[in-house]
Structure 1
């Protein structure tokens, strides 16, 4: 079943890019190039285009009006507005919308469970509660190439906890305006707060500790033949 946020984000982002539709009687009407018309009831009409929806999508063909699933409506809309795009590209796009919907559905269920346990407090929890993603993007929670296991382990909506990995990198290999200033100091202080042994773990005075997300660390290891660093 399509999550309401998926429907809302997809349609609002699409309608932002076109004027070829009408809003009347609190519904969006889209002519399907002579092959019927979509009628999408709204619960709120927004002057800025951030409409809210009732979950229903209706297809009018001649005098027949029937309710259809959002996945079918999305396919009809893609064909309506982008008829010249390669069919494989359209299929890939729609699959990404489905993948995003799957993520939003699972993340929303995880959020509801935390709410039932009264586990939502503070700034971090507020960020983790943003399970729908960008409100004007057709597939805001498409997370390829992450697997479901990686999504639930590392992405904020599932409120997981994991340790960062530390690397020692030669200072002259780091580029940036603040490497030799406040960044150097803050990296050293952060490392000291995580490791009681402190600087004794570093190979030498010319090395700086650099924290890495586990997924970043995985990619670094793949390229370690071309990098000068140590795991610490």
Structure 2
């Protein structure tokens, strides 16, 4: 049984008088930060806001905390530390990623996106159509909002280099079968980019087990600071 009183005690927002008696429905845009994160940020801004890894105590401590964050988060996600990247947001991370793909995709390549996605994991890829990349849309069932894997199978061929879809749709709330979809894409020779922003707040994903080549989510929607987390597998 979840101890809701214990959970609430971890969030200083619950002790703010002006917030008493209110329901918070903005979690899709960002969550309140838990006390442990606030304590870490306070320590950083008061004692360790320096360039890391230099030969003096504050700098060494700053570097050690950065390393600790990467090691603990990568272990939680089931990936290697060098496969984990931090950025300003998932939107920004996806944009930068799309620009990197733009330079490396061979002529005649195709990318599959969905109409179940958030704009952040759809728009940057769709705009590559201006660069000559073919964009194919894996469409939802208009009656149910469901993404049928059979629909993906009809779009896959040897020209498809990347398949982009959400772990959980922010539009319809459906949790997609990531491992199944990844296996289909890999069998066709395509890499996979999964937007986990709407899923991660409800249960941290085992990215290693899911098999996605790229997995993104936002720390500020999982009770942390305003950062985007991006896993790019070897």
Q: TM-score, normalised by structure 1?
A: 0.23
By relative contact order (CA 8 Å, sep 6+), the higher-ranking structure is 2
Q: TM-score, normalised by structure 2?
A: 0.22
